[in-house]
Amino acid sequence: MSAFSRFTPLASALPSTVPFVGPEAIERQRGLKVEARIGANENGFGPAPSVIAAMREQAGDIWKYNDPENYALREALATHLGVTPANIAVGGGIDELLGQIVRLVIEPGGTVVTSFGAYPTFNFHVNGFGGRLVTAPYAGDREDLDALLDAVKRENAPLVYFANPDNPMGSWWDADKIVAFARALPETCLMILDEAYSETGPASALPSIESLIDLPNIVRTRTFSKAYGLAGARVGYVISTPGTAQAFDKIRNHFGMNRLATVAALAALKDQAYLSEVIGKIHAARNRIADIARANGLQPLVSATNFVAVDAGRDGAHARAIVDGLMEHGVFIRMPGVAPLNRCIRVSVGPEADMARLEEALPLVLKKLA
């Protein structure tokens, strides 16, 4: 009997893979130590001291399960956003929520529209539930709204994914364009509006809550991983109509949220002064990365995220050589996965020590590749 016959045909056909190779795996595989961790779109400035204090204070309660209704966090988010708790669903980061959305909407063979080269973890979930991906290429390093809408209508797709601001390019569309796109979608198509970087972009890129809250086919996903500095805590949430938000109760792991992660999210939400301070640091670090890139003859793309995509001027092989070369100096960065986006490298913001190490290592790597 085949060793894999106990699995479904779909599971048997899927590769065993991880969408991103983590810096820990690179250290193990290459025997190198990461000295500047500026590749995973984390917030190297970390969470607020008040958040760490809250976690320490309540660490003794970790023997308790988290509230399966996520009542306190949903109440706090609702107050913060100006909606009702019924408009909110909570999950273990956007990645978990994306898998739940795909599970809710896509049956095997169902069509899902996304941009070619956009967030690969979403594609991972689509493949895992047997969906069929239809992609539209980027245009001018931005996701192409017109091409995405055309694909949805042509394919009669029940699900479309769009991130604003975008990963991996850091680009964005202004709010009026997003709202127009959302309202032009067929009501049979659910839109994931991934707003992981909503706090770090310009105000003009963020549609108001009121502009989309009446649409049951729009799901906005947000996170505490980026600006709030809680990537390791895994806390994300959904904003939608009550009927859509409450559908997550049908399939989610009701005891899946970490109790201390919830404590951290509640404390982070209260400390908006620290959030403002960190956003200022993120903007300054983006400028620092851009300056380093230009000083080395590379072209930084304008970014609304906590990273900067940098055009390395050639092709994906050259960009990969830069990524690998920087790792030889302990500098961990990443790059987009498909052409033509993969002509770029992607550098996350971080403290000045990390920026200085990048500034020192990049010219050495480029000189070796010349």
109 near 130, Cβ under 8 Å? yes
Number of alpha carbons in the 13 Å side-chain half-sphere of residue 142: 15
Strand-pair partners of 41: none
Q: Write out the two tokens for 328.
A: 């030889």
- State how far Cα 348 lies from the chain centre: 13
Strand order in the sheet with 299-300: 299-300, 307-311, 344-348
With DSSP H G I counted as helix, E B as strand and the rest as coil, what are the percentages for the chain, rounded to 5? 45, 15, 40
**Residue type present at position 247:** A
pLDDT at 3: 54
Same fold, 20-46+273-369 and 49-270: no
pLDDT at 270: 98
- Using CB atoms within 10 Å of the CB of residue 236, give its burial: 0 to 12 exposed, 13 to 18 middle, 19+ buried: buried
The angle at the Cα of 171, spanning 170 to 174, to the nearest 5 degrees, equals 135
Q: Write out the two tokens for 196.
A: 């992981």
Region for residue 41 given its phi and psi (left: phi exceeds 0; alpha: psi -120 to 50; beta: otherwise): left
Domain boundaries, given as residue ranges, for the chain? 20-46+273-369, 49-270
CA dihedral 70, 76, 79, 83 (to 10 degrees): -20
49-270 has CATH 3.40.50.980 classification: no
Q: From first to last of its 370 residues, what are the pLDDT tens digits of the chain?
A: 455 578 999 999 999 988 888 999 999 999 999 999 999 999 999 999 999 999 999 999 999 999 999 999 999 999 999 999 999 999 999 999 999 999 999 999 999 999 999 999 999 999 999 999 999 999 999 999 999 999 999 999 999 999 999 999 999 999 999 999 999 999 999 999 999 999 999 999 999 999 999 999 999 999 999 999 999 999 999 999 999 999 999 999 999 999 999 999 999 999 999 999 999 999 999 999 999 999 999 999 999 999 999 999 999 999 999 999 999 999 999 999 999 999 999 999 999 999 999 999 999 999 999 9
CATH architecture of 20-46+273-369: Alpha-Beta Complex (3.90)
244 near 219, Cβ under 8 Å? yes
**Residue type present at position 115:** S
Q: Write out the two tokens for 241.
A: 């109509």
pLDDT at 20: 86
